[in-house]
Structure 1
Amino acid sequence: MKMADEHDAFRATVRNLVDREINPHVDEWEQEEGFPAHDLFPRLAQFGLLGLEYDPQFGGEGADHLFTMIACEEYGRIGAAGVAMAIGVQTNMATPSLHKFGSDELKRRFLAPAIAGNSVAAIAVTEPDAGSDVAALRTRAVRDGDEWVINGRKLYITNGTQADWVCLLARTSDEGGHRGMSQIIVPIPTEGFSVSRKLDKLGNRSSDTAELIFDDVRVPIENTIGSPGRGFEQQMSQFVTERMSAAYTIAGQCRHALKRTRDYLLDRPAFGEPL
């Protein structure tokens, strides 16, 4: 793929949006330890930013991957990395599996509102004893008729205090290891679900990060994304999108930091000349 004029125009649009709608507020959001996702996301959605590569049938733009790369690079210019991360969760971490593997009905109920910015999404994988070792997770979903009954805890969940639904990875059989997991959409609020605490972090304070509790949470079996038992494989696919978007954002952060450093060195005099 090669950059075209439309990509350059898109970059200018995202940069202007970041400078106008986000950066003037980041100091306040860092101090408040959170940002208003339900206010910001609809503004991003007006420019198609929450569903760039997603099917237009559900409100997406059907764009090529370069648009995602450009958007993420420009998010790297946001003055608070936590906001960029929260946007990334909405667009490239919590929704790719739903778009790729979910039923049309699930997409209408959960993906379309997320693309429109009317609902906030979170991805619930990490647990107190299972982080990078996803195969060690313990949260269980047991089938009871037409419902899953979910019990467990999830930790370090970005957007956790504001989410309207989570893409949950849970064990749905006793096979052990990476086998027998499923991805399940859990709407919020749902009886038995709670946010046990909002974490007090050293950095990324504008991004709300939470511990989530599932205590006999019941959701319909039809909320399963893709095939039951294939959740680990689907989540690994979703991780690829997540990690590439993070890499693009970091590249944008580095480029922006270098530019700010250069500007400072040209502006700061020492011994009668710029540093």
Structure 2
Amino acid sequence: MKRDLYDDDHEAFRSVVAEFVDREVVPHLERWDERCLIDRETWLAAGRQGIVGLAAPEGYGGGGGVDYRFRAVVMEEFARAHATALASGFSLQDDIAIPYIVEIGTEEQRRRWLPGMAAGELIGAIAMTEPGAGSDLKGIRTSARRVDGGWVVNGTKTFVTSGIQSDLVITVARTDPEGGARALSLFVVERDMPGFGRGRRLKKIGLRAQDTAELVYDDVFVPAENVLGEIGGGFGQLRAMLPLERLSIAVHALAVSEVILADTVQYVRDRRAFGQRVADFQNTQFELAEMHTEVGIGRVFVDRAVLALNAGELTEVDAAQAKWWAADLQNRVIDRCLQLYGGYGFMLEYPVGRAYQDARIQRIFGGTNEIMKQIIGRSLVGRP
């Protein structure tokens, strides 16, 4: 099926990204997995090439942030190289951290942080999840208490992507102990603030090169100028920014699904069993036919969502549908592809094995797929 999402400008940019990936990414993937950390120099090189910071306006050194198709190109090229952990880190920067500052931050905050983020010099993160609070934001216990000149933050966060390397952490904290719809606020906590510490670097079953950590806030003084948005507006601000994050997950899921499926087609053509190619078995052809069709259908929906985002028309429900469907599809396709590899699919030397590990988190972060279905369902029948 012909794909009409991109024009010549996007394809020219793809050439730049592909060259960057071949030069700055592919040679280092194995070492990053062993270290469980991606080189800071890679971020700086991406900044120089204009591959990170696409969401920042041009006036702050970024790519303009008006056409999400350029971000989709980056994710597709990272998927081609099986650089899933790096894709996750860059998605956090461009689809979460930078948009929060662009959309919610003050002009002073934009001038202070966006140029460094667009250059890859400042790595952003967001700290929402806590040991006792995941998708349920009402369970957040990290607190912020008003003092002269700012706020004092106390608490613990976990599952923080880029938690070790991050320089700016958008932190969700409770500013109203009584609760309610306006209980939460956002604070930008900077690396060297006294009392702000990194806990364990968490060991994960996938995305090994992506540093994920616990963060500890022990009487961290956050000046008033680091409040992001309106005090008490945190829940609404988070909700407004989540559709972009969820679309990012969907775009990445489709890109990985397509690459793994293409790899599998080539593998079954080359692999022989019982005197013939694995591709010649009827079951293999039926499996490939079903996956090819499902991925094609998913591609149409996700491409349409990208265009809706560009037009300012992407809804919370659209993003939820794209996220849960694409994440489920990714896991389903990779599992079926791995089966066609036989025992070799279980070996990490094959990309399908690593993709199997990395895919599982897609159904959890950005809001679990069960939460996505609840959002969709409530849009159909109303809230209780």
TM-score category, normalised to shorter length? over 0.9
Distance between the aligned counterparts of 1:93 and 1:149, measured in 2? 24
2:243 to 240, 243, 259: 240
Distance 2:163 2:106 in 1: 24
The worse-fitting range, judged by mean Cα deviation, of 43-52 and 113-122 is 43-52
User: Which residue, 18, 42, 62 being the options, matches 1:60?
Assistant: 62
Q: Which one is further off, 254-263 or 14-23?
A: 14-23
> Is 1:72–1:246's contact at 8 Å kept on the other side of the alignment?
no
2:111 maps to 1:122? no
Return the offset for 1:173.
1.7
Bigger CA drift: 264-273 or 22-31?
Answer: 264-273
User: CA offsets per residue over residues 160-218 of structure 1, 9 Å max, x none?
Assistant: 11111101111112341442211111110110011121112222111111100000000
**Is 1:49 matched up with 2:51?**
yes
Question: Which of 239, 257, 262 is matched with 1:259 structurally?
Answer: 262
- Aligned-partner Cα distance in 1 for 2:278–2:202: 43
Give structure 1 stretches of 5+ with no counterpart.
none
Task: Report how many aligned residue pairs link the two structures.
Answer: 274
**In the aligned structure 2, how far is the partner of 1:208 from the partner of 1:104?**
30
Q: Secondary structure of the residue that 1:234 maps to in structure 2?
A: helix
Q: Give the fraction of aligned pairs with identical amino acids, expressed as a percent.
A: 38
Specify the code of the residue in structure 1 equivalent to 2:78: Y
The answer to whether residue 30 in structure 2 is matched with residue 27 in structure 1 is: yes
Q: Following TM superposition, by how much is the alpha carbon of 1:13 offset from its aligned partner in structure 2, in angstroms?
A: 2.2
Query: 2:229 matched to which residue of 1?
Result: 226
Change (3 A) 1:77 1:273: closer
1:221 Cα deviation from its structure 2 partner: 0.9
Instruction: Give, in whole Å, the separation in 2 of the partners of 1:75 and 1:229.
Output: 38
Residue number in structure 1 paired with 2:359: none
Instruction: Give the direction of change, closer, same or farther, for the CA distance of 1:237–1:268 in structure 2 (3 Å limit).
Output: same
Which has the larger displacement, 114-123 or 15-24?
A: 15-24
Relative distance call for 1:26 and 1:231 in structure 2 (3 A) is same
Q: Give 1:51 shift.
A: 2.2
Structure 2 counterpart SS, 1:94: helix
Structure 1 residue 15: Cα displacement: 2.5
CA contact (8 A) 1:78 1:84 kept: no
Q: Distance in 2 between matches of 1:71 and 1:80?
A: 11
| 1:11 equivalent in alignment to 2:11 | no
Residues 1:79 and 2:82 are matched in the alignment: yes
Aligned to 2:177: 174
1:160 aligns with 2:174: no
Taking structure 1 as the reference length, what is the TM-score of the superposition? 0.93
Instruction: Determine the structure 2 residue equivalent to 1:147.
Output: 150
Q: Against the structure 1 CA distance between its residues 184 and 255, is the aligned structure 2 distance closer, same or farther, given a 3 Å change threshold?
A: same
Task: Specify the alignment match of 2:96 in structure 1.
Answer: 93
Structure 1 residue 142: Cα displacement: 0.9
Q: Identify the residue that residue 303 of structure 2 maps to in structure 1.
A: none
Question: Partners in 2 of 1:240 and 1:66 — Cα distance?
Answer: 16
Residue 140 of structure 2: aligned partner: 137
What is the CA distance between 1:2 and its match in structure 2?
4.7
Q: Which amino acid in 2 is paired with 1:92?
A: D
2:312 aligned residue: none
Give the C-alpha shift of residue 227 in structure 1.
1.3
2:208 is paired with a residue of what secondary structure? Answer: coil
Describe the superposition over 1:219-267 as per-residue Cα deviations: whole angstroms up to 9, x where unpaired: 1111111211111111122221111111111111011101111222233
Query: Which of 36, 40, 43 pairs up with 2:42?
Result: 40
Cα distance in 1 for partners of 2:131, 2:277 equals 54
- The question of 1:102 aligning with 2:93 is answered no
Give deviations 1:88-144, integer Å, cap 9, x for gaps. 111112221111110111112222211111111111111001111122111111110
Find the partner of 2:199 among 191, 196, 199: 196
3-state DSSP of counterpart to 2:125 = strand
**Cα RMSD (Å) of the superposition?**
1.7
SS in structure 2 at match of 1:76:
helix
